[in-house]
Amino acid sequence: MENIDWKSMSFGYKKTDYNVRCYYRNGAWGEIEVSSSEHIQLHIAATAIHYGQEAFEGLKAFMGQDGKIRVFRWKENAARMKRSAEGILMAEVPEELFGRAMEKAILLNKRFVPPYGTGASLYIRPLLLGTGAEVGVKPADEYLFMIFVTPVGPYFKEGFAPVDMLITPGIDRAAPLGTGHIKVGGNYAGSLTALKLAHDKGYASALFLDAKEKKYLDEAGPANLFGIKNNTFITPASPSILPSITNKSLQEIAMSMGMKVEVRPVPLEELSTFEEAGACGTAAVISPINRVVNDDTGELIEFCKDGKPGPISVKLYEKLIAIQTGDAPDDFGWVNMIG
């Protein structure tokens, strides 16, 4: 095991020993190759760097108390990457190849899987790029699928602490019939100005409204939104939201705890009626929301009167983490052992 200060580790990139790569050429995927280089060589006319033919995924592996490495719902990520590829006309990565490459990337970097009890995990980043050279706008004929891993600390150094968010009605992240529902880099490029605005004003993240009517809640940059009221877990439905696997998992946990679940358009006015609100995604699992401010109107909504996360958010968070680390039984069949 590495001599790393796991507990004070940030959510950032740290070099590991190996990454894995697989090339799609002449209509077929090749063999998985192992590399110790942190760099890739790209043709200057590769479609990924000109026309945004790029999709990625993010998931985590955890060391259990039993010394076994667990990966959370990776088949969901493989399926989503397929949909992303389909959405921007890239070669699709078969689930079997995704799984094999992922297992290899984890096992080759086993010494970087943070020990049980540190709160840290091994972040897995699959990437799919158009590498074929084109100058006209069209899909590439060659692709690179690769996976690198990097150990990450808990998303919040301060612990599970509520954050403030800024609604940015003046900036959209994705259009309803665009690419918001798939995990492509272009969506992130489009969200950077809103994120910077939010950060500059002292907020943890930007919160986007639906791009068409500006009446409904969409999502929070790289995370979905949810609210809790009347023993119900409510999360926005919208064609421009990226379907979060964390969100889907929280819905199932909420149901198993006897809560109701509603996936439907959520009008902006409804936000103030929530007893608790949070953002959810792989990186932080849940970011409880303390305050939301509308950058246009200045309206402020407060959820955590005492600066503490709400009780249901805490319960959902703890249950999901317990399943991921193997502390709670895998009742939903979400966990795969590696190695």
Ligand X SMILES: *Cc1c(COP(=O)(O)O)cnc(C)c1O
32 vs 174, beta carbon nearer ligand X: 174
Among residues 235, 240, 244, 325, the one that binds ligand X under rule CB under 6 A: 244
Query: C-beta of 18: minimal distance to ligand X in Å?
Result: 24
Q: How far is CA 67 from CA 28, 205, 235, 325, 326, in A?
A: 37, 35, 35, 10, 10
Residue 288 near ligand X by CB under 6 A: no
32 vs 209, beta carbon nearer ligand X: 209
Residue 153 φ/ψ, nearest 5 degrees: -80, 175
131 vs 244, beta carbon nearer ligand X: 244
Which region among 109-117, 141-149, 193-201, 245-253 touches ligand X (by CB under 6 A)?
Answer: 245-253
Q: Are 124 and 112 in contact (CB under 8 A)?
A: no
Close Cβ partners of 50 (under 8 Å, ≥ 6 residues apart): 134
Among residues 21, 104, 181, 183, the one that binds ligand X under rule CB under 6 A: 183
Of residues 26 through 65, those in contact with ligand X by CB under 6 A are: 58
238 vs 282, beta carbon nearer ligand X: 282
Of residues 246 through 275, those in contact with ligand X by CB under 6 A are: 246-247
Residue 223 near ligand X by CB under 6 A: yes
Give the type of residue at 53: Q
Give the orientation angle of helix 311-325 with respect to helix 245-256, to 10 degrees: 110
Q: What are the DSSP calls for 158-206, one per residue?
A: T-S--EEEEE-TT--S--TTTTTTS-BHHHHHTTHHHHHHHHHTT-SEE
Q: Are 105 and 32 in contact (CB under 8 A)?
A: no
Among residues 144, 245, 271, 289, the one that binds ligand X under rule CB under 6 A: 245
As a 3-state breakdown, the chain gives helix, strand, coil percent values, each rounded to 5, of: 25, 30, 45
Catalytic residue at 68? no
Given 183, 215, 308, 315, which residue is catalytic? 183
Among residues 126, 153, 236, 281, the one that binds ligand X under rule CB under 6 A: 281
Residue 144 near ligand X by CB under 6 A: no
Catalytic machinery residues: 183
Which residues are near ligand X by CB under 6 A?
A: 58, 183, 219, 222-224, 242, 244-247, 281-282
